[in-house]
Amino acid sequence: MTSTPRMLPRRWPGTWTAPLVACALLLTGGCIAEERTADAPGAGQREDVRVPVGGDAIGDADADPARDETSDEPREDPPDATHTEADTALDSSDDTQPEVIAEDARDDRDAPEGGAHDDAADDDPIDWDAFADAGPSDTEDARDEDARDEDARDEDAAEEQDAVDDAAEDDPPVCVPSCAGRRCGPDGCQGVCGTCGDLEGCEAGQCVALPRPWEALLDERIGFGRAARGGAGGSVCWVDNTNDAGPGSFRACAESDEPRWIRFRTGGTIRLQRPVMVGSFTTVDGRGHRVRFEHQGLTINNRQHVILYNIEIGSGGGSDSSDAIQIINGAQHIWVHHVTLESFPDGLLDITRGATDVTVSWSHFRNHDKVMLIGADKADTGDTVIRVTLHHNWFQRTNQRHPRLRYGRVHVFNNYFERWGSYAIGSSQRGEVRSERNVYEAGDRREAFQTEFAADDARGYIRSVTDLRLRNATTTQHRRDDVFYPDYPFTVVPADDTLIQRIRANAGRRERPAP
């Protein structure tokens, strides 16, 4: 019979191709190994190597130059090796027999090489031919079964270790020494750290996104512009000076389409020499400083996801057509929040030429004539896509256009119109205005709404819902049943003195700490 070779207690010297092993364990305490190799000096030649149990081979020490003399690792026989039944009996001894032999070897450490373990062994030598012909005993069968059980246990242990190793690979590495504020390199930790990004920290050796408290601002979005993301999730671009252009300037941060949240390390007045063309996915966040733009304004031209927050724009110059904020040419998802606008040559905030999904909230308009134009010309029939929400704004003693609408739809709720000059809200070309719980405090003229204009050939539609009229103000509706109802959630409060005081106290840019 044959059996799969088992690993020997120590590494065997030499290169084995077809070893035949027979060990006189009880007599010699060692094994006589017969080696036949392709490199043997001649056919039928033998090389005897005596291997005492628990020790290195006795014989030619230079037989295997590559052998590691310091290694305790066992080396398996080559897979093509075969054994006799006697070998099987030897292999099946497993862990018990080597321990006995090792003890016997210690007792007979003074015996000569090849000597007997005891006198009885010398008097009764083993009949090797009879041993080779004999069948396996019951004891040998039990030992074979024990060996198979041990192999199964070894395989189970190996599988468990593989599972542990796989789990360790899935766990995030931890840098040693600690890499606070840093992260592991691409080769795992190994004590090598790279730098995390500006908005990242290190947890368990991994870069993780830090809390971004400034983005809590997004929770305040309401209305048609509620989808505006601004620079959420992008980098922070810091404004370090009040220069018109150049490194560290507002213009350098704003005129890019990469997602960025613009913050200010310094306040003051930034005098712009030409309009700033604000890029997509941009938030201008003026908290922490008083930031004011003068002479020229901000333009959002065919861009999307822009948020302007807590800034001032005023004292405009340049041409008569310049606006403080211009949103044009299909710009979309725009939110103007807590902004103070005043005194510009043309408009304070214009939304024209297909720009849509805009919210203007908690802003303060003052010292101006033509405040807000939505739809510039009756020829721009594509402006039917325009949708704008105005809420909690303060129009303080301004003349007209709060707003002036053509074609689109505007939802106006909880605003305070304080003593307008010509009119509060104008609509033509079938533009639809829903006025809901606003405060209209009349100025020189009592009528708040105007739906006919000489330059246009169709009237607009206005509906008033529970508005408050002060100082004998009037709100004349036109085609009220043709006005839309907004398809987004919103909450309105009563139009009363409490609303007035709240708007006065909070609209426009306010002193707010940087988050």
Catalytic residue numbers, as ranges: 401
Please, which residues have CB within 8 angstroms of residue 11's CB and are 6 or more apart in sequence?
Answer: 67, 68, 71, 73, 74, 75
Lookup: tokens for 255: 């005129």
Q: What is the DSSP string of 34-74?
A: E---TT-SSTT---EEEEETTSPPBS-TTS-TT--TT----
In angstroms, rounded to a whole number, what is the distance separating the alpha carbons of residues 336 and 323?
A: 15
Residue 190 burial class via C-beta count within 10 angstroms: exposed 0-12, middle 13-18, buried 19 and up:
exposed
Please, which residues have CB within 8 angstroms of residue 96's CB and are 6 or more apart in sequence?
Answer: none
In angstroms, rounded to a whole number, what is the distance separating the alpha carbons of residues 363 and 390?
A: 9
In angstroms, rounded to a whole number, what is the distance separating the alpha carbons of residues 150 and 274?
A: 84
Q: How far is the CA of 460 from the CAs of 29, 336, 352, 467, in angstroms? A: 113, 25, 17, 19
CA neighbor of 314 nearest in space, from 342, 281, 272? 342
In angstroms, rounded to a whole number, what is the distance separating the alpha carbons of residues 18 and 77?
A: 9
Block residue for tokens 């009996």: 89
In angstroms, rounded to a whole number, what is the distance separating the alpha carbons of residues 512 and 381?
A: 41
* DSSP tally for the chain: helices H, then strands E: 8, 34
CA neighbor of 391 nearest in space, from 502, 253, 302? 502
Lookup: tokens for 203: 């947890």
Residue 154 burial class via C-beta count within 10 angstroms: exposed 0-12, middle 13-18, buried 19 and up:
exposed
In angstroms, rounded to a whole number, what is the distance separating the alpha carbons of residues 37 and 40?
A: 5
Lookup: tokens for 315: 């004292």
Give 383-404 as a 3 state SS string. HHHCEEEEECCEEECCCECCCE
Q: Reduced to 3 states, what is the DSSP secondary structure of residue 304? A: strand
Radius of gyration of the chain (CA): 45
